C-alpha cells in the first residue's frame, strides 16, 4: 500500500483557477501563489460578505487524543470529498499547520492516505507566509514596547504582559531576559516567548471580520500596565498601523484543494489546547458564502476544540454548526480502556467497553449545546468487525448514530455513508453556548470545569486570583474564557484517561487577550511554548536534489 507521502506526490493538482471556478469564482477573484494555491482577493471578499451566508456549517471534532491517532483532519477531508461525490457544492475550512508540531512529534497536518489537502509540503511548511507575517507583527509590537521604555517611558510602563513569538517548539525561550549588554540595549527585564500559533495576534487574525476589524482588535491589545495599575494598549504605542500593514495579505484566506479536487480554504492555525483552535472567521464566512456545505474542524478533543468553537468562535462570530461529527477509533477507545499502544492490534472487547467512557462523555457534553453528534468511527486496518459493531451498539444505546469512515483507504468513496448521514441530520443551528456572558470569570471557569471536564471543584493560585480581580476591575469580566490545558485528557492531568470525575481543577495563571476578545486560563503544567521530544520529527525531514520535501509524515 502506498504511503501518505507517495499518495500526495502522485496526485495531479488542478490549476488553482479551476478550483476557484468550482465555487463560482473568476480568475480576477483570486491572487495565485504559484499554480496550485491562491488567496482570495480583497474586493471579492467584500462582495461575498455583502451577499451574506449561503451554506450550512458542519463541525468535525473528536474524542480525547491518544498516541494511537484519531484522524480528525482525515475524516474532515474525506467527508468533504464524499459530499462532492454526492453532487453537492462543498468546501473545506481548515487551519494551517504550525511548523512547531511538524518538526516535533506530530509531523504533517494535511490529513492522510487518500483524504489529504495538497500541496502537502507547502501547506505544512511556509505556505503563503501567513504565520511568518503573524510572527513579525507580534515581534514588532514587542520591539516597540522595549523601544518606548528605552527612550523615556512616557507611558510609565511598569509591568509588561505581551510576549515575543516564534513558530517553533523551543523550550529554552519560555523564560528569557532581554535588555542585557549595557544601557545601549535598554533596561534588563524578564520576558518570554509564545509559539506563534498560541499568540494573541494569531487569535486576532482568526477572529477578525476584515482588515479594519483586525486593526481595531490590535489597538485593543493590553501590552502592559503602568505604575498606577492601569492598562496600556497597543494603540498607546501607535503600533497598530504598522502591524496591520504586515498582516494585510495574511488576513486574506488561502485556497487549495483535496486530492479529489474539492476546494479547501486553509487559513489561520491557533492551537486548541492553548488557544481557541479554529480556522479563521473570514475563511469560514467566505466558504459559507460560496458553498452549500462547509466542513470545518475544531482542534483536539471536543472538551477543548468544540467547547471553544461554541463558546468563543460561535459566540463572537455568530457562526454555529448545523451538524456535528465526533471522530473516534477502536484503537483510541482501547487505549482509553487501558491497553498499551503496542497491543492495540489485538481484538479487545472489554477495553472498548471501558474506553467508551471517554466517547460517552464527549457525546454528553456536545448535547449540552443542543446537538446530537454523529460518531464517525475512523477505521484502521487492524479493527475487527466485532469491535466496530460494539462501538455502534454502544452509541445506539445512548440514542446516537455511529458510521464507519474509511477516508484514509478509500478517499471520498469511503465516507459516502457518513456524508449521507450528515445530510440527513442537518438542521438549523441552535446557537447554544454553555454559559452566559454576564457570569463572572470564576463562574465561567467553574461551569466549564465541572460540566465539560467532570471536575468537582476549582482552585486558584494567588497570582491567578489577583489577575482575575484586576481584569474584572478593568472591565473585561464579560469576556468568554479560553482554558489552556493538556489535550491528552479531559482533565488537566495528561495521564488520566477515560472520563475522570470528581477531582479539583487547578488554575495556575490567567492572561487577558483583550484584542482577541477572551481571557486565557492556564491549568496544570500547560505552557504556551512547547518543547521538542527526545527524537523530533525534524530528524526525518529532508529535501532531495530536485527540491522535493521528504519525511514530513
Residues with catalytic roles: 72, 74, 95, 106, 272, 300, 380, 408
Strand partners, 295: 58, 92
Q: Tell me the C-alpha to C-alpha distance, in Å, between residue 68 and each of 146, 382, 506.
A: 45, 12, 28
Classify residue 31 by burial, with Cβ atoms within 10 Å: 0-12, 13-18, 19+.
middle
SS3 at position 214 = helix
> Which three cell numbers mark 120?
502537502
CB within 8 A of 393, min separation 6: which ones? none
Three-state SS annotation for 402-466: EEEECHHHHHHHHHHHHHHHHHHHCCCCCCCCCCCCCCCHHHHHHHHHHHCCCCCEEEECHHHHH
- The CB-side HSE value for 354 (13 A sphere, CA atoms) comes to 12
Question: Is the bond leading into 101 cis (omega within 30 degrees of zero)?
Answer: no
Distance CA 549, CA 121 (A): 6
Distance CA 428, CA 322 (A): 5
> Which three cell numbers mark 434?
454553555
Distance CA 431, CA 441 (A): 21
CB within 8 A of 281, min separation 6: which ones? 206, 207, 208, 209, 313, 316, 317, 319
Cβ atoms of residues 77 and 115 within 8 Å: yes
**Per-residue buried b or exposed e for 497-511, using 16+ beta carbons within 10 Å of the residue's own CB:** bbbbeebebbbbbbb
> Which three cell numbers mark 552?
514530513
> Which three cell numbers mark 180?
542585557
Cβ atoms of residues 272 and 196 within 8 Å: no
Amino acid at each position: 500500500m502506498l504511503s501518505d507521502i507517495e499518495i500526495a506526490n502522485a496526485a495531479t493538482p488542478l490549476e488553482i483557477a479551476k478550483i476557484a471556478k468550482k465555487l463560482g469564482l473568476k480568475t480576477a477573484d483570486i491572487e495565485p501563489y504559484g499554480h496550485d494555491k491562491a488567496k482570495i482577493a480583497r474586493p471579492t471578499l467584500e462582495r461575498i460578505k455583502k451577499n451574506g451566508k449561503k451554506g450550512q456549517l458542519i463541525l468535525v471534532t473528536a474524542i480525547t487524543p491518544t498516541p494511537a491517532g484519531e484522524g480528525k483532519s482525515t475524516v474532515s477531508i474525506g467527508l468533504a470529498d464524499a459530499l462532492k461525490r454526492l453532487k453537492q457544492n462543498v468546501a473545506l475550512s481548515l487551519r494551517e499547520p504550525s511548523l512547531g508540531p511538524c518538526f516535533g512529534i506530530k509531523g504533517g497536518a494535511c490529513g492522510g492516505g487518500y483524504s489529504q489537502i495538497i500541496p502537502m509540503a507547502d501547506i505544512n511548511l511556509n505556505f503563503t507566509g501567513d504565520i511568518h507575517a503573524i510572527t513579525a507583527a507580534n515581534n514588532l509590537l514587542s520591539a516597540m514596547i522595549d523601544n518606548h521604555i528605552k527612550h523615556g517611558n512616557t507611558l510609565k510602563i511598569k509591568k509588561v504582559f505581551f510576549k515575543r513569538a516564534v513558530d517553533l517548539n523551543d523550550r529554552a525561550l519560555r523564560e528569557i531576559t532581554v535588555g542585557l549588554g549595557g544601557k545601549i540595549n535598554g533596561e534588563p527585564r524578564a520576558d518570554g516567548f509564545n509559539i506563534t500559533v498560541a499568540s494573541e495576534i494569531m487569535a486576532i487574525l482568526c477572529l477578525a471580520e476584515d482588515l479594519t476589524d483586525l486593526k481595531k482588535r490590535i489597538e485593543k491589545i493590553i501590552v502592559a500596565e503602568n505604575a498606577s495599575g492601569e492598562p496600556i494598549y497597543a494603540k498607546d504605542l501607535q503600533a497598530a498601523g504598522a502591524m496591520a500593514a504586515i498582516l494585510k495579505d495574511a488576513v486574506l484566506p488561502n485556497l487549495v484543494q483535496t486530492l479529489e479536487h474539492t476546494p479547501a480554504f486553509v487559513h489561520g492555525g491557533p492551537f486548541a489546547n492553548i488557544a481557541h483552535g479554529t480556522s479563521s472567521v473570514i475563511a469560514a464566512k467566505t466558504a459559507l458564502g460560496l458553498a452549500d456545505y462547509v466542513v470545518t474542524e475544531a482542534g483536539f478533543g471536543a472538551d477543548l476544540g468544540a467547547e471553544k468553537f461554541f463558546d468563543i468562535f460561535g459566540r463572537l462570530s455568530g457562526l454555529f454548526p448545523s451538524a456535528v461529527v465526533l471522530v473516534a477509533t477502536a484503537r483510541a477507545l482501547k487505549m482509553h480502556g487501558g491497553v498499551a499502544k503496542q497491543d492495540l492490534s489485538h481484538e479487545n472487547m472489554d477495553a472498548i467497553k471501558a474506553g467508551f467512557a471517554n466517547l460517552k462523555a464527549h457525546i454528553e457534553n456536545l448535547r449540552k449545546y443542543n446537538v446530537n453528534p454523529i460518531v464517525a468511527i475512523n477505521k484502521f486496518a487492524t479493527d475487527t468487525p466485532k469491535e466496530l459493531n460494539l462501538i455502534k451498539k454502544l452509541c445506539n444505546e445512548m440514542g446516537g448514530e455511529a458510521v464507519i469512515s474509511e477516508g484514509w483507504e478509500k478517499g471520498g468513496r469511503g465516507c459516502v455513508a457518513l456524508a449521507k448521514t450528515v445530510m440527513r441530520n442537518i438542521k438549523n443551528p441552535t446557537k447554544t453556548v454553555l454559559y452566559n456572558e454576564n457570569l463572572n470569570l470564576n463562574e465561567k471557569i467553574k461551569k466549564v470545569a465541572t460540566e465539560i471536564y467532570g471536575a468537582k471543584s476549582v482552585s486558584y493560585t494567588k497570582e491567578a486570583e489577583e489577575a482575575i480581580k484586576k481584569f474584572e476591575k478593568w472591565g473585561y469580566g464579560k469576556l468568554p474564557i479560553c482554558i489552556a490545558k493538556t489535550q491528552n485528557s479531559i482533565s488537566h492531568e495528561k495521564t488520566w484517561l477515560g472520563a475522570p470525575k470528581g477531582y479539583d481543577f487547578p488554575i495556575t495563571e490567567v492572561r487577558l487577550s483583550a484584542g482577541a476578545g477572551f481571557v486565557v486560563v492556564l491549568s496544570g503544567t500547560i505552557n504556551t511554548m512547547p518543547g521538542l521530544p527526545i527524537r523530533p520529527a525534524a530528524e526525518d525531514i529532508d529535501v532531495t536534489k530536485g527540491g522535493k520535501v521528504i519525511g514530513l509524515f
